Amino acid sequence: MRKFYFIFAAGLLPYFASAQQLQEPPVKPNYQLAAKFSPEKLKKMIFSTTIKPNWINFSDRFWYDYASPQGKNWYIVNPALKKKEALFDSEHVAAQITKIVKNPMDAQHLELQGLKFTKDEKKIRFQIQSTKDTVKSKDEIEKLKNKADTTKKKLFYLEYDFASKIVSEISDSTKVKAPLSWASFSPDTNTVYFAKDFNLYWMDKTNYLKAVKNEKDSTIVEHQITKDGVQYYAWGGDEYSTTTGDEKDKDNETKRKRVWISWSPDGRYFTLTRKDNRSLRPLWVINNVGSSRPTLETYKYQMPGEVDSTETEFYIFEAATKVPRRLNIAAFKNQTISNWTKTPDRNSYKEDYYINYWLGNNEEFYISRSSRDLKRIDLLKVNVNGTVNPIIQERSNVYLDVQKPLLVENGKQLVHWSERDGWGHYYRYDTNGKFMNQITQGSFHCEEITGLDPTTQTLFFTAAGREKNEDPYYLHHYSVNLNGNGIKLLNPGNFDHQIEMSESSKYFVNNSSRVNTTPESILLNSNGQKIMTLEKADLSLLFAAGYKFPEPFKVKAGDGTTDLYGVMYKPFDFDSTKTYPIVEYVYPGPQTEAVNKSFGRSMDRIDRLAQFGFIVVTVGNRGGHPSRSQWYHTYGYGNLRDYGLEDKKVTAEQLADRYKFIDINRVGITGHSGGGFMSTAAMLVYPDFFKVAVSGAGNHENQIYNRWWSERHHGVTEKVSAKGDTTFSYQISKNTELAKNLKGRLLIATGDIDNNVHPANSIRMVDALIKANKRFDFLLLPGQRHGFGDMTEYFFWKMGDYFSQHLLGDSKMNEVDMIEMNREKPLK
């Protein structure tokens, strides 16, 4: 009997193919299906999915726009009358606009920019972009590199009168112009503050109005307040980075810039912080493609464990004299100051100018200070005479989160948020720090205060995890009395809910969905009674293209006890008789997790990746999202490299046991930033399990990532010597230490001017892999920051190629052109 021997080329069949796969035809990568759901195509299939209410002059009435495959419509809603109607007749308005602008408009394709009600609410104003050429202003031409480019397309300023239903053109000068970006107004709006040459300046209203017309008007009178400001020790106007050889940056110091000050309600005082960063060491990136010559960009960047020799300075100014007085708020070395400001309301605006008020009254205000290791937080009451009183203290053995308090009872009490019992809850104190009562309690996490009814002493807030038999991340809206009684769910339903509440706290718009439901928007009152359905998203074109909802799931963490919640994305041509590789899209947190809870987010990186022929999953991990218990959130404290890896591994194993169409011998992993770090770590800690990784912009060596994130989530050791000197030390495990463990296929990508996660993270990983004699792949994206910018789509297809090649044994790696991208835009 003759024996036959078969040799399979590595490029035709993955080297880790299972026996089951050898008996059935392999799934081939479906590039065409992935291309059907590109970001450009999704724009033409998914329109509005949520409502953003525009409250009219801080009342309970609001307008909104909503788009569908039939076009965009504008509506006005009066909750008190339970009435919703069209803001105007779109056909009639489009016809009038056509006559004025001379560009044909119709109701289905109407686009209005900057729509705003007049103060008397009798008219609305908006802009329409035309194709008519007009001459640019002198100020616009001066800002151009090419001074010959003197024309632009005219923007028409229009007004619609509700009574007459007439659209008319108004002058550009009639339009209320947005305040200049650098202007910070006093409460009476008569004085404008700004930074220039790293110092604090002011001008009066008359001169500010000159600047509105022409910022380079030589007759503008400015007054300098401080004189000792320098770069990196400024009173305002310090830039995050400077670029050597860039003319814009050379002129930048003399330009007016915003300064972040907060005011007493009576306008007598304002506060400002200042920090001397001159001793902090810089980082650099080189932009090779941004201009005619490569440019060097320099920025201050403190790494974990590094010495910080100066402290944040806190100043109070008396507006009349404009003389700074430094307050002594010191308690911890290298402490962080949170200068709380009042939540904006109708009193925060005067003459269309925004006033930034401090949190407090004319005599006292509230700030917080946090130790460098974030295990100690003090809420401080500060008097304008300089007295500083700690009124609430938070202490922990792990890092603490902090939120802005809410003043209630006419400023005589405050609502304080704390995780002191292991869950995020609200507590009531008087303003001297005397504890009154715990407002909320139980195994759930309070997220945000959304409103207050002072008459009934009712607090409104969002929280996650209170409703049983739901995903604990789903957000809900609640009310509770300040004494802790009568907590009430206001928007029931097994969905994730995003809400927008009116200033009066009488009504709120509720946007709800899950990853596997169509989004719906309704209007409710403060008792949770439904007033009306506003909109339900039209996804008909998306489904017509073959879209299918993903599937939420629940598994156990590596401890066999903790529930983890995830989402599974299948190819839209899924065949249950076939087996598929599984790819995990990861982000370890701890400030969030890359697990969608509502419809329509991150579709291009997750849903679309599955279309090549993968089962793509996202799942949380212990040490992840803060919306669960403090234990869950801080699980990775002190182990920032490995803490989430086991949960990713056991998730794939449990899903493979549950579903026979998942091939546990073909496991891929990918992520960006922290996910890039995690995907590479997974390949090195579990090299026999994870076979392929695509790692984007990963912080592979967290000792060279920024101090605030790394020290916060991993921990920094504070040491006090016998002499009382305080020092800090930081140690963390790095991906580069495990380079020798690599067995599978790894693609590392970074932007070359990433000033968040510096390219050195990826380059050091590359260096370690080369020294360990490993084969791997590296992709440098020129001129790109952390998010990859306009090369995001290119990176997606490179990722698809990589997983297709190494998990499916087939790809278009041998083709030069990415025809899937070329089809999206015409050739020039």
pLDDT, average across residues 227-244 = 87
Quick: pLDDT tens for 546-586. 999 999 999 999 999 999 999 999 999 999 999 999 999 99
Lowest mean pLDDT among 1-10, 529-538, 615-624, 727-736: 1-10
Q: Is residue 493 part of a domain?
A: yes
- What string of H, E and C letters represents the secondary structure of 33-95? HHHCCCHHHHCCCCCCCCCCCEEHHHCCCEEEEEEECCEEEEEEEEHHHCEEEECCCHHHHHH
Residue with tokens 């925004």: 354
Closest CA to 464 of 453, 452, 454, 472: 472
Residue 3: pLDDT band with limits 50, 70, 90: very low
Q: Is 815 left (phi over 0), alpha (psi -120 to 50) or beta?
A: beta
Q: 432 and 527 share a domain? A: yes
Closest CA to 713 of 732, 727, 738, 736: 732
**What is the predicted pLDDT for the residue at 527?**
97
Q: Is residue 220 part of a domain?
A: no
Q: 547 and 533 share a domain? A: no
Does 215 have pLDDT greater than 50? yes
CATH code at 550? 3.40.50.1820
**What is the predicted pLDDT for the residue at 10?**
39
Does 1 have pLDDT greater than 70? no
Residue 11: pLDDT band with limits 50, 70, 90: very low
Q: 492 and 583 share a domain? A: no
Contacts of 68 (CB under 8 A, 6+ apart): 47, 48, 537, 538
Cross-strand pairs, 378:
369, 393
Quick: pLDDT tens for 157-202. 999 999 999 999 998 765 556 799 999 999 999 999 999 999 999 9
Average pLDDT in the chain:
92
CATH code at 473? 2.120.10.30
> Is the omega angle on the peptide bond into residue 590 within 30 degrees of 0, that is, cis?
yes
Lowest mean pLDDT among 27-31, 242-246, 467-471, 798-802: 242-246
Q: 161 and 99 share a domain? A: yes
In 3-state terms, what secondary structure has residue 719?
A: strand
Burial of 613 (0-12, 13-18, 19+ CB in 10 A): buried
Q: 514 and 620 share a domain? A: no
Residue 421 structure tokens? 């019992």
Residue 240: pLDDT band with limits 50, 70, 90: confident
Cross-strand pairs, 694:
670, 747
**What is the predicted pLDDT for the residue at 703?**
94
Q: Is residue 559 part of a domain?
A: yes
Quick: pLDDT tens for 306-334. 999 999 999 999 999 999 999 999 999 99
Quick: pLDDT tens for 760-771. 999 999 999 999
Q: Is residue 250 part of a domain?
A: no
Which residue type does 122 have?
Answer: K
Q: 478 and 564 share a domain? A: no
Residue with tokens 């997750």: 606
The last residue of one of the domains, among 174, 189, 222, is: 174
Does 349 have pLDDT greater than 60? yes
pLDDT, average across residues 355-378 = 97
Q: 489 and 624 share a domain? A: no
Q: Is residue 386 part of a domain?
A: no
**What is the predicted pLDDT for the residue at 398?**
95
Residue with tokens 């005479």: 385
Q: 442 and 584 share a domain? A: no
Does 371 have pLDDT greater than 80? yes
Q: How many CB atoms lie within 10 A of CB 37?
A: 22
Contacts of 765 (CB under 8 A, 6+ apart): 680, 698, 700, 701, 735, 736, 739, 748
End-to-end CA distance of the chain: 64
Q: 697 and 752 share a domain? A: yes
The more confident residue out of 20 and 201 is: 201
Domain count, the chain: 3
Dist CA 119 CA 625 (whole Å): 43
The last residue of one of the domains, among 127, 148, 174, is: 174
CB 652 within 8 Å of CB 664: yes
Q: Is residue 98 part of a domain?
A: yes
Residue 813 structure tokens? 């790696």
pLDDT, average across residues 607-629 = 96
Does 148 have pLDDT greater than 70? no
CB 468 within 8 Å of CB 474: no
CA atoms within a 13 Å half-sphere pointing along the CA-CB vector of 437? 8
Does 254 have pLDDT greater than 60? yes
The last residue of one of the domains, among 129, 145, 174, is: 174
Dist CA 433 CA 437 (whole Å): 12
Q: 86 and 38 share a domain? A: no
- Exposed e or buried b per residue across 647-677, where buried means at least 16 C-beta atoms within 10 angstroms of its C-beta: bbbbbbebbbeebebbbebbbbbbbbbbbbb
Q: 674 and 814 share a domain? A: yes
Q: 627 and 659 share a domain? A: yes
Q: Is residue 181 part of a domain?
A: no
Quick: pLDDT tens for 123-144. 999 999 999 888 776 666 665 6
Q: Print the domain residue range for 143.
A: 54-174
CA atoms within a 13 Å half-sphere pointing along the CA-CB vector of 150? 4
Q: Is residue 259 part of a domain?
A: no
Predicted TM-score (pTM) of this structure = 0.93
